[in-house]
Structure 1
């Protein structure tokens, strides 16, 4: 059947029309939009469908993965995008778009639905571990924000439980992280993991890590940060060995990422696997493959041996959430 799907984030939104069946989905039309260029989701989708031609014919069902909490039930959902002033209502969207049904789900719920549709080449192992068939899974991903999801085996497939665990309290684990925590607490009052594990979080680390006398970002890094995406500039300079402070910030980011992923895995006993999604992980894969991430992941005292048995994978397909939303739209059609 033909479905409309969307991956709605604070920075970008991906929209897709696809032909889906039990074997997967075939893309008919896809487009990327800058989210903050629109006042809401409806005008964006209407513009997309108006140029989709035959691909838009016969659409009845849609699902949008939303970067933010979703409330409601099977009869209707409401959502607010965390990093945008958008308030969404599934019933209103369906009426505006002329569809029989629109479903809203959390963006990492969509990622969870998409995992089993990925080829093995899209899953990069950081730790092989021992996968328990049907065991709980977790997905975590840093990007514009920090998303999480929990996957439970139910009725012969994985059902995804949405989470806003990225907004739990940041727990620093070394002196540098404590210094960052104190600086951010003075600024915000409360410090969540998203304040340090996100694009803006990487910038926060660069700004607030303790520095040796005279240690400053290079003029080249400052220029690159002002000219484009600051987090991308920090990552690029760190990975290329072009700025020592950027390297320190990225190493701190990786350690916090590993510790947070380990916390989530331990909470759920994720014997089915730990999956890293989001826009940042694939871009810093060389650093994730090095020691600090997995060292921090396993650094759980008496539970270290247990953490060493859990499979850990990086999802390198940036459209896994879009794929998951398309599959969810198909399922919602019955």
Structure 2
């Protein structure tokens, strides 16, 4: 690859709530970056067309998109949108020689290497192994998971749909929660609990099982906007007992699943907590609830105590990862 010749590339972070697109030059230099409300568009192609209409004669050498769903054969059906994204369709419509779709948490994983110290908050320093496997997990609209393996001088990222594995309750309260949600959904995955909608599910379980109502203020806030954000805001401010209990249970289940992932891939290089929710509840993540659940694995508690745990504070990490892949694949 001749790095002396600048090429123009396109990167995207495609989620159920928002889509971030960036046009940039190889080696740096952002030409444009836009945020779009995903649900307002019929397809990713429509969003790309809107962005590129401002750059009608700009040739693109490559594009990479991190998408919130599994990718098979260059195609993906977005988990929380009625879209199908197709590499070939994008390449043909916009005349881009190289187009790559990757899972959104695969993109987050690639982006980890681009982060700086101020982009991370450390919950547990641990005892990291040089070139050890890294794991990524993050709650937002859904729950994403992935992992990274050191290969030939850099971390290669791999996707996972582990968030859709069976929820495993660890105590009597969580068994009740499982039964409550099983009656509603049938199959209960970790995403049903560790996500924005998952926090609402937990809150509703506690409300119904306790026969207790939220404060008038919280009920109004939940109706007026994002109910998960309203619950977490009230919980962090100690303004509603149900919200406080819901966020505590959320943090315990989040920590437990992060520990599950760390065990499954032996993440001696660290676990990275990404997604939109974590930075908003840092006080809760730092109070020990998350880490106690993370390490509560019986005979393997000591091993988990040695695994570093970091929170990703930079919301553009997925976009950064997609950009790194676009540079790697350009002709």
Answer whether TM exceeds 0.5 for this pair: yes
User: How far, CA to CA, are the matches of 1:150 and 1:208 in structure 2?
Assistant: 32
> Secondary structure at 1:274's aligned position in 2?
strand
> In structure 1, what is the equivalent of residue 273 of structure 2?
276
CA contact (8 A) 1:10 1:144 kept: yes
> Secondary structure at 1:190's aligned position in 2?
coil
- State yes or no: 1:152 paired with 2:149: yes
> In structure 2, what is the equivalent of residue 130 of structure 1?
127
Aligned counterpart for 1:190 among listed residues 163, 166, 187: 187
CA contact (8 A) 1:20 1:326 kept: no
> In structure 1, what is the equivalent of residue 41 of structure 2?
38
> In structure 1, what is the equivalent of residue 212 of structure 2?
215
CA contact (8 A) 1:128 1:310 kept: yes
Q: How many residue pairs end up in the alignment?
A: 325
- State yes or no: 1:168 paired with 2:165: yes
Change (3 A) 1:128 1:213: closer
> In structure 1, what is the equivalent of residue 60 of structure 2?
59
- State yes or no: 1:26 paired with 2:25: no
Q: Report 1:107-126 matches (<5 A).
A: 107-126=104-123
> Secondary structure at 2:29's aligned position in 1?
strand
Aligned counterpart for 2:21 among listed residues 3, 8, 15: 15
Change (3 A) 1:87 1:264: same
Q: Report 1:300-311 matches (<5 A).
A: 300-311=297-308
Instruction: Please list every run of 5 or more consecutive structure 1 residues that lacks an aligned counterpart in the other structure.
Output: none
Instruction: Please list every run of 5 or more consecutive structure 2 residues that lacks an aligned counterpart in the other structure.
Output: 1-6
Q: Report 1:183-332 matches (<5 A).
A: 183-209=180-206, 215-332=212-329
Shift of 1:138: 0.3
CA RMSD of aligned residues (A): 1.3
User: How far, CA to CA, are the matches of 2:209 and 2:298 in structure 1?
Assistant: 31
User: How far, CA to CA, are the matches of 1:219 and 1:5 in structure 2?
Assistant: 43
Aligned counterpart for 1:49 among listed residues 41, 49, 52: 52
Shift of 1:211: 6.1
> Secondary structure at 2:276's aligned position in 1?
coil
Shift of 1:114: 0.6
Q: Deviations over 1:227-278 (max 9, x none)?
A: 0011000010000111010010000000000000001001111010100000
**More displaced 10-residue stretch of structure 1: 89-98 or 61-70:** 89-98
User: How far, CA to CA, are the matches of 2:75 and 2:314 in structure 1?
Assistant: 28
- State yes or no: 1:69 paired with 2:70: yes
Q: Which runs of 4+ in 1 moved over 6 A?
A: none
Q: Deviations over 1:155-214 (max 9, x none)?
A: 111001111111000011122221111111001111000000100000000001266765
> In structure 1, what is the equivalent of residue 83 of structure 2?
86
Change (3 A) 1:215 1:62: same
CA contact (8 A) 2:107 2:319 kept: yes
CA contact (8 A) 1:29 1:52 kept: no
> Secondary structure at 1:121's aligned position in 2?
helix
Shift of 1:51: 2.4
